[in-house]
Amino acid sequence: MMNVPLTVGSLLERAEKYFAKKQVISRTHSRIHRLTYKEIGERTRKLAHALEGLGVKRGERVGTLAWNHHRHLEAYFAAPGMGAVLHTINIRLSPEDITYIINHAEDQVLLIDEDILPLVEKIHHHFKTVKAYVIMTDQEELPETSLSPAYSYEKLIEDKDPNYAFATDIDENEPAGMCYTSATTGKPKGVVYTHRGIVLHTFALGLTDTVGLSESDIAMAVVPMFHVNAWGMPFACTWFGSTQVFPGPQFHPKLLAELIEQEKVTVTAGVPTIWIGLLQVLEQGNYDTSSLRAVLCGGSAAPKGIIRIFETKYKIPFLHAYGMTETTPIALLSRRKSYQTDLSEEELLDLRAKQGMLVPGLEMKVIGDKGEVKWNGVEMGELLIRGPWIANEYYKDDRTKDAFKDGWLHTGDVAVVDEEGVVKLVDRTKDLIKSGGEWISSVDLENALMAHEAVLEACVIAVPHQEWQERPIACVVLKDAYKNKVEKEELQEFIRPQFAKWWLPDDVLFLDEIPKTSVGKFQKMALRKQVNEQLNNMA
Ligand code: AMP
């Protein structure tokens, strides 16, 4: 067969050629933009030309600090198209971490959203390699800024070549993208994506048995473009010619509901906290969500209670998926097999709440105390994954040796596998609760609690215990309508029938909110610290 390199630039070329008329709908600070792929293609090429003019060379990093919008999409293709590396930076990290990341990746140029400017202005004097700042503003004129040299995006690309040719000699194993993931301890860790890895992952998103993205979709990635390339959606939607909707800066659940209704979104993707927020809005207003064929949910465990409402009340199929920054990210996805026709509603929801089956192209094993676990839904072990879109190291980082061993990525996630090969995550290795020498899954307890109508969010953590080493404590945020109206005993009784006695949380604490990570996941480490301090003060 021909050895034709798989390159990111070619994904956009297909959209320019075959889907020139189709649209990218993008919300920015000032308005909604509607651009065709023809326009996106020309603007992307102009941007690539501009980046070259700013001195960006092959293999060098172009950083972005931005929300989900069309300019960010253009950067997704401009940097890899010219042979540079797109480095998406998580704008919700601390200023210290952002500084570390920019210096560690040695970013040459930063593309920055207008509202992120104040943050960058505070820390830019620590940057060691940045040669230029491009402000992604709707205005041709530059907003006032202390950054230098700084350019307005629109002004910068204005006179550049709309036919600028992408590099044609790119080896598919060259880096195309980069993303840092926050570590539980220490500085964030960098993962580099090759052209080949991104393209193969893009194929995977189009498979009917995974997300099945296609030309007919109107796709809205709510997951930030700085969180593992918005799970690869911008690459896949562009290649397949789907219409794309970008919710832009500082969106809120009401805006998402409006966009779904107005733009007739067919598929959308985000972490569970986004869908918890959206459901609250749907409950209050009268929105037409009938266009949705799938809500893709990943990043942390999707609570069964949420899946139930989407599927039974709103008739929106819920696609639960699992992945990591290190896996580009889609690795597992939960779908019913064709012969599983006799599942009861409850069994089907249980299946949807599992993380799912391995995506074609990848390999996995689950390793327990005595080697590979049996597929019996009971034996627990750490999930190991390998495949063509799985990273094999952290970028210039000693912690590579902790996670990448013998050709496998050690995910740090503890899982069971059922007879059908469907994976269910029970915890992070660091979050498992060990009571009297036996493991308790915090995820199962959280799921059970979140199925109660009064519960908005539930997070179960371990607290030290003299006799049992550790015991589970549940931290619960009640929905507004139920505040101060539900006692902890009611919640304990509610979940009692589902668990062995020793699994039940010793206490239920009602909180105003659960601390979240920069990508909207429960931050268990911070919560454990907070609860332990609270308990010590009470003692
Ligand atoms: P990140 O690299 O920030 O995306 O985090 C990856 C981690 O998120 C994984 O190792 C899991 O612990 C967690 N995760 C991702 N998807 C899921 C899911 N569907 N259910 C439970 N945990 C998940």
pLDDT tens by residue, 51-93: 999 999 999 999 999 999 999 999 999 999 999 999 999 998 8
Tell me phi and psi for residue 309, to 5 degrees. -65, -45
The packing angle between helices 8-18 and 70-81, to 10°, is: 120
Told to judge if 434 belongs to the known catalytic residues of this protein, a careful annotator would answer yes
Q: Which ligand 1 atom is nearest residue 325's CA?
A: 2
Q: Is the pLDDT at 539 greater than 70, yes or no?
A: no
326 is catalytic: yes
> Measuring CA to CA, which residue among 400, 424, 404, 472 is closest to residue 301?
424
Nearest to 18 by CA among 322, 208, 297, 241: 241
Q: What is the pLDDT of residues 247-306, one digit of tens each?
A: 999 899 999 999 999 999 999 999 988 999 999 999 998 999 999 999 999 998 898 989
| 3 state SS of 411 | strand
Phi, psi of 283, deg, nearest 5: -65, -35
- Tell if the pTM clears 0.85, that is, is over it: yes
The DSSP line for 510-535 is: E-S---B-TTS-B-HHHHHHHHHHHH
188 lines ligand 1 (CB under 6 A): no
**For the sheet containing 175-181, what is the strand order?**
150-152, 132-136, 107-113, 61-65, 85-88, 175-181, 189-194
Percent of the chain past pLDDT 70, that is, above it, reads: 99
Whether the CB of 411 sits within 6 Å of ligand 1: yes
Whose CA is closest to 9, among 50, 66, 58, 48?
A: 48
Looking from the CA of residue 428, the nearest atom of ligand 1 is 12
Query: Is residue 262 within 8 Å of residue 34, measured between CB atoms?
Result: no
140 band by pLDDT with thresholds 50, 70 and 90: confident
From the CB of 187, is ligand 1 less than 6 Å away?
no
303 vs 299: CA distance, rounded Å: 12
